[in-house]
Amino acid sequence: MLYTQLGRTGLTVSRLGLGTMNFGADTGEAESLAIMDRALELGINFFDTADMYGRPLGNGVTETLMGRWLAQGGGRREKIILATKLYGPMGPLPHQRGLSAAHIRRACDESLRRLGVEAIDLYQMHHIDRGYPSGMAPKWLNLQYMDLIRACDHGPPWEEIWQAMEQLIAAGKIIYVGSSNFAAWNIAQANTLAAARGFLGLVSEQSKYNLATRTVELEVVPACRALGVGIVPYSPVGGGLLAGALEKTTEGRRGSLPAEMLDKYRPQLDAYEAFCRELGEHPANVAAAWLLSRPGVTAPIVGPRTLDQLNSSVRAVEIQLSAEVLARLDEIWPGPGNQAPEAYAW
């Protein structure tokens, strides 16, 4: 395993992060515990979760499962950098979500309790809090109370958020703060206001980023690089799109992707999977290796459902992609071509 620093901090993390979204959902407890043990054996020390992971959503199932793993001892807590997230709904009431100071404090205490730890190394805001007036809530929320909220046309101010995070750090409950799914201007605004308070601010941004989804290269990636915010890509294989999706269908294996998506990307997938065969590498590992080659990227989050998937994924850190290979991948999966505004203006 290779290691690097998380953004501008001195914190050393593995170049692959272990994502736990499948634990307690698609992956049962026994295999989830085995995957975490194996990750340690492989040198992965960056473990990422969220309070709302696991089924049913919002019950803290995955954090609770991880807490049982940590409680086994053997230095497990000392061996990992523990990251979790807050923001999503954690109950049926309107105030049990978002980034209000009240919810930040309550959500942190509940995560600490479920995980059975004294401190969270990286506490991440899962989404920017826009307030969501009636009728504008994201589809995934789908909570009846959202239709009853009228005076909710803005999220909490950064002064409220940063004061709450400062208090958690002072209390020894968290060490670093990160974001996820933030726009570039959110990151810039947050860290400008944090600096004015003499506060470290955001040290990482977890964004959806892969060969097929490169929108963040327009503004998020340049902003993070300029501000010393480590980029932690999630969905490195695009939900299975970049993990040999076509090969699975030709072999008669059941895939999780809808036929419409396969049809949409079929020409690119044909070219990509053929190119990976030329390289002698699994498509999923090429996709992760490509992310590892991108400027500003700290650690892609791999989310294995099985031990075999985890064992296979570490190959990505060993793959060195030449300039010619990178150019060919750009041809198959073209990004925006540059950062903004050069990507679309003179």
For residues 176 and 15, give the distance between their C-alpha atoms in angstroms, rounded to a whole number: 18
Residue whose C-alpha is closest to residue 199's, from 158, 156, 155? 158
Residue type, position 266, single letter: R
- Give me the phi and psi of 331, to 5 degrees please: -65, -40
Distance of CA 171 to the CA centre of its chain: 26
CA atoms within 13 A of residue 346's CA, in its CB half-sphere:
0
Residue 3 falls in the annotated catalytic set: no
Q: Which two tokens stand for residue 308?
A: 């075999």
Residues 176, 224, 15, 72, Cα dihedral to 10°: 20
- The rounded distance, in Å, linking the Cα atoms of 95 and 98 is 8
Which of 3, 53, 145, 209 is catalytic? The answer is 53
Q: Which residues contact 299 (CB under 8 A, 6 or more apart)?
A: 4, 6, 13, 14, 15, 16, 17, 46, 230, 232
SS3 for 71?
coil
Active site residues: 53
